[in-house]
Amino acid sequence: MKRIFWLIMGIAVGVYAVTRLKKRAQVLAPESLQQSAAKVAAAIRHFGDEVREGMAERETELRDALGIDTAPTEREDYR
Would 61 be classed as within a structural domain? yes
pLDDT tens readout for residues 26-40? 877 888 888 888 999
Pick the closest to residue 59 from 75, 70, 48, 47 (CA basis). Answer: 70
Q: How many domains does the chain contain in total?
A: 1
- Domain range enclosing 8: 2-66
Q: With a threshold of 0.75, does the pTM exceed it?
A: no
At residue 68, the pLDDT reads 87
At residue 78, the pLDDT reads 57
Would 77 be classed as within a structural domain? no
Quote the DSSP letter at residue 67: T
Would 15 be classed as within a structural domain? yes
At residue 73, the pLDDT reads 61
Would 16 be classed as within a structural domain? yes
The amino acid that residue 25 corresponds to is A
